């Protein structure tokens, strides 16, 4: 099958007229199918061993069921083909990340040998982990992106929530500043912390605080391109809504799930806009 065929989106997907929503049950069924596909292509032989009629050899992890319990601190997750229907969302996301760490592409080289008894197939000695992880991420994200509000598995093997569609270009956009440590790295760290699956309200609040602090760091330059009133308004939210200060004057009686998300997008987009205004002004003054 041509490579493009695997990524082709058919009519109902292109037009948004899907017959079913990508709910948890649908995602679990697709995950099981993807796992079986990789399993049949022996992408898990290195870690979980090969089912051979002559030699039930163990992989790197030894007993997979015991290993999963040790790594995830959960019972009843393995074997996947028997347990996946019982997974909660958290279980499923745990297993998606777990498989990322334990997948590798079998290499057909001189060390591999073919075992023809009962159509056993190849026994591989060498594997390419990075190549398999790239393929795994591409396959799983095709469906994670459509689940719920949208998720993605990044290339470090962590599941993040997608930014709202209109803000996604900010993830790949450059941050026009020479302040690598004080602005750029802090912005990217704040975005990662906010998007990480399972992030707490405290972690999200800290992300918003970090973005506001980054804006504060360039405030002297920002004053040169904004009026005093506009400059003050940018910091009013963080200073008076329990983000940067803790005192009895703070306004905290609001739905934090909703408003922290709004504040996050507000400050992220404001930082990008402000830094571009500052950069434009500096170029004019050259």
> Percentage of residues in the chain with pLDDT exceeding 70?
80
Question: Residues 6-16: what's their mean pLDDT?
Answer: 68
Instruction: Tell whether 74 is covered by a domain.
Output: yes
pLDDT of residue 92: 97
pLDDT of residue 16: 63
Instruction: Tell whether 69 is covered by a domain.
Output: yes
Q: Which pair of tokens denotes residue 63?
A: 């007993």
Please indicate, yes or no, whether residues 208 and 117 belong to a single structural domain of this protein.
no
As a whole number of angstroms, the distance between CA 241 and CA 89 comes to: 32
* pLDDT tens, position by position, 242-261: 454 444 444 555 556 677 88
As a whole number of angstroms, the distance between CA 231 and CA 249 comes to: 21
pLDDT of residue 215: 83
Please indicate, yes or no, whether residues 110 and 208 belong to a single structural domain of this protein.
no
Please indicate, yes or no, whether residues 215 and 264 belong to a single structural domain of this protein.
yes
Please indicate, yes or no, whether residues 146 and 271 belong to a single structural domain of this protein.
no
Instruction: Tell whether 10 is covered by a domain.
Output: no
For the chain, the first-to-last Cα distance in angstroms comes to 56
Give residue 66's pLDDT band: very low, low, confident or very high (50, 70, 90): very high
User: Could you give the angle at the alpha carbon of 136 between the alpha carbons of 131 and 138, nearest 5°?
Assistant: 100
* pLDDT tens, position by position, 173-184: 888 888 889 899
- 230 or 13: which carries more pLDDT confidence? 13
Please indicate, yes or no, whether residues 230 and 184 belong to a single structural domain of this protein.
yes
Q: Are 218 and 183 in contact (CB under 8 A)?
A: yes
Question: Residues 189-206: what's their mean pLDDT?
Answer: 87
Q: Which domain holds residue 61?
A: 20-157
Please indicate, yes or no, whether residues 132 and 197 belong to a single structural domain of this protein.
no
Which of 115, 130, 157 terminates a domain? The answer is 157
pLDDT of residue 135: 96
pTM for the predicted model, two decimal places: 0.75
**Number of structural domains the chain divides into:** 2
Q: Is the pLDDT of residue 20 over 80?
A: no
Look at residue 155 and give its three-state secondary structure: coil
Torsional sign, CA 45, 49, 51, 56: positive
């Amino acid at each position: 099958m041509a490579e493009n065929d695997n990524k082709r989106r058919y009519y109902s997907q292109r037009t948004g007229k899907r017959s079913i929503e990508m709910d948890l049950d649908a995602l679990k069924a697709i995950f099981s199918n993807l796992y079986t596909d990789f399993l049949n292509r022996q992408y898990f032989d290195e870690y979980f061993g090969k089912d051979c009629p002559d030699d039930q050899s163990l992989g790197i992890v030894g007993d997979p069921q015991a290993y999963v319990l040790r790594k995830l601190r959960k019972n009843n997750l393995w074997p996947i083909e028997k347990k996946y229907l019982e997974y909660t969302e958290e279980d499923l996301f745990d297993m998606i990340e777990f498989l990322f760490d334990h997948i590798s592409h079998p290499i057909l080289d001189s060390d591999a040998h073919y075992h023809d008894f009962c159509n056993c197939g190849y026994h591989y000695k060498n594997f390419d982990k990075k190549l398999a992880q790239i393929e795994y991420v591409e396959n799983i994200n095709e469906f994670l992106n459509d689940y719920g509000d949208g998720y993605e598995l990044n290339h470090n093997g962590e599941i993040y929530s997608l930014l709202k569609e209109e803000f996604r270009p900010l993830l790949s956009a450059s941050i026009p500043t020479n302040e690598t440590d004080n602005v750029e790295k802090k912005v990217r760290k704040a975005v990662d912390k906010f998007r990480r699956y399972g992030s707490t309200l405290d972690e999200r609040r800290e992300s918003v605080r970090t973005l506001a602090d980054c804006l504060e760091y360039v405030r002297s330059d920002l004053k040169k391109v904004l009026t005093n009133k506009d400059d003050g308004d940018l910091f009013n939210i963080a200073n008076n809504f329990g983000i940067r200060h803790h005192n009895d004057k703070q306004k905290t009686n609001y739905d934090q799930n909703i408003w922290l998300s709004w504040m996050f997008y507000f400050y992220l987009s404001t930082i990008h806009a402000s830094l571009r205004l500052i950069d434009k002004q500096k170029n004019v003054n050259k």
